[in-house]
Amino acid sequence: MGVPSTGLLSLKGIFNEVAVNNYSSTKSPENASLTDLSDGTEGAINQTQLPHNRPDGNQPHAMSEFYAYDNNADYPGLFGDDWEDGDIGDGSRTNFHTLGHELAESGDLDSSELNVSFVDNSNGFLAPGTFDDRPVWTHSPSNPSLDTDNDVRFTNTNSPQGNWLKSTDWTSVSWAGALTTATMAFAYRWRFFMNSTNNKDGIIDVRMNTTNHPNPGISTQTYQIQVRDNADPQTGAVRLARRSSTSVTTLAQSPSGAYTIGTTMDFVFSVHEATTFGNPRTLKVGVGPTTVSTPAIINSYNKVSAVDTNYVTNYGWNFRSPKAMSTPSSTHFHKYSFIYTTIVTV
Among 40, 248, 331, 345, binds other proteins (CB under 8 A): 248
Residue 148 C-beta: closest distance to other proteins, Å: 28
Decide if residue 216 touches other proteins (CB under 8 A).
no
Decide if residue 212 touches other proteins (CB under 8 A).
no
Decide if residue 251 touches other proteins (CB under 8 A).
yes
The site string for other proteins over 291-320 (x = CB under 8 A, - otherwise) reads ------------xxxxxx-----------x
The CA-atom distances, in angstroms, between 306 and each of 194, 207, 234, 270, 281 are: 25, 17, 19, 11, 8
Contact 89, 81 (CB under 8 A): yes
Residue 135 C-beta: closest distance to other proteins, Å: 23
Residue 45 vs 304, nearer CB to other proteins: 304
Residue 107 vs 280, nearer CB to other proteins: 280
**Residues ≥6 apart with Cβ < 8 Å to 197:** 230, 326, 331, 332
Decide if residue 249 touches other proteins (CB under 8 A).
yes
Q: How many CA atoms lie within 13 A of 261 on its CB side?
A: 25
Residue 13 vs 217, nearer CB to other proteins: 217
Residue 302 C-beta: closest distance to other proteins, Å: 8
Query: 201-218 burial by CB neighbour count: b if 16+ within 10 A, else e?
Result: bbbbbbbbbeeebebebb
Decide if residue 199 touches other proteins (CB under 8 A).
no
Residue 134 vs 272, nearer CB to other proteins: 272
Q: What are the start-end ranges of the H helices in the chain?
A: 11-20, 34-38, 96-99, 102-105, 111-117, 175-178, 294-300
At 295 the three-state DSSP class reads helix
At 243 the three-state DSSP class reads strand
Which of 43-51, 117-125, 183-191, 229-237 is the region at the interface with other proteins (rule: CB under 8 A)?
Answer: 229-237
d(CA 92, CA 144): 18
Among 26, 31, 122, 246, binds other proteins (CB under 8 A): 246
Residue 161 C-beta: closest distance to other proteins, Å: 5
Q: Which residues pair with 335 in a beta bridge?
A: 153, 193
Decide if residue 201 touches other proteins (CB under 8 A).
yes
Decide if residue 215 touches other proteins (CB under 8 A).
yes
d(CA 266, CA 190): 6
Contact residues toward other proteins (CB under 8 A) are 160-162, 200-201, 203, 214-215, 232-234, 237, 241, 243, 246-256, 277-278, 280, 282, 303-308, 320, 322-323
